[in-house]
Amino acid sequence: MEFTQSIPKRVRFSLVPQDFDDSQLSCQRIEAEDPLEYLKRENHILWRAYEAENERCERLQKQLEDLIARAERSKRLITRLCAEAHNASGDSQMQLLQAQSAASYYYEAYQSCASQVNSCRQQLLHEQNVVRQLQAQSQSISLELRWYQAAFPHAKKTYHLQTGQLNSAKPDALIPVAGSRRSSQEGDPKTKCPRKSPAKKIKTKVRGVRVVKPADLRRSLRLQGINAIEEEP
């Protein structure tokens, strides 16, 4: 029975019969959730992050529109005040100085708005990119969730977290568990996951959301049973 080598500092889940004797394992055994619940939870987290980033995009869009409007108002005021200063007679020196001072103030406000507009546009583009990545990853998780439910309708839901080393020759090797490979008649294991390639890892850090790696799940679900499902510790 072949098992893939585990990646260091990774967690693997393997299907264990409910009547399996714990004494046969030489490593720590801890109860863990089944991958169906894992997929559901990750999908929910991604969806909440997607909604939060969408709201941020809407706020930034509104802020951008307000800044552009303020800049346009300042520009119009500068034009009018400069015209008034140009047309002011020599005996109205006070009016001339007031117009020049007001024009200078609004010009500084215009420059500030223009700078904020550029910054806001860059931030908006960044947030929109995060939203697109979150949406793609959420769709990928949803596809895997539907595929898992269809491919393994009778899969048992007793899973154990396995850690530790079996021997020095194969450190962190996945423990072969009797009965972990399922028959080819159950759930048509030849059925491939609908996603052709793993979703790209989100490089942008999203506040409060852990980056999901669906490729780890897909590799395990391709096996003739649920041999291994990987998750970041």
In this predicted model, what pLDDT tens digit does every residue of 89-144 receive, in sequence order? Answer: 655 667 667 766 776 777 777 777 777 777 777 877 777 777 777 777 777 777 77
Residue-wise pLDDT for 134-175, tens only, equals 777 777 777 776 776 676 666 544 333 333 333 333 333 333
**Do residues 192 and 148 lie in contact, with contact meaning Cβ atoms separated by under 8 Å?**
no
Q: Which residues pair with 5 in a beta bridge?
A: 173
What gap in Å lies between CA 102 and CA 73, rounded to an integer?
A: 13
Helix axes 35-87, 214-221, angle to 10 degrees: 150
170 Cβ partners below 8 Å, 6+ apart? 5
Q: What type of residue sits at position 179?
A: G
C-alpha 221 chain-centroid distance:
22
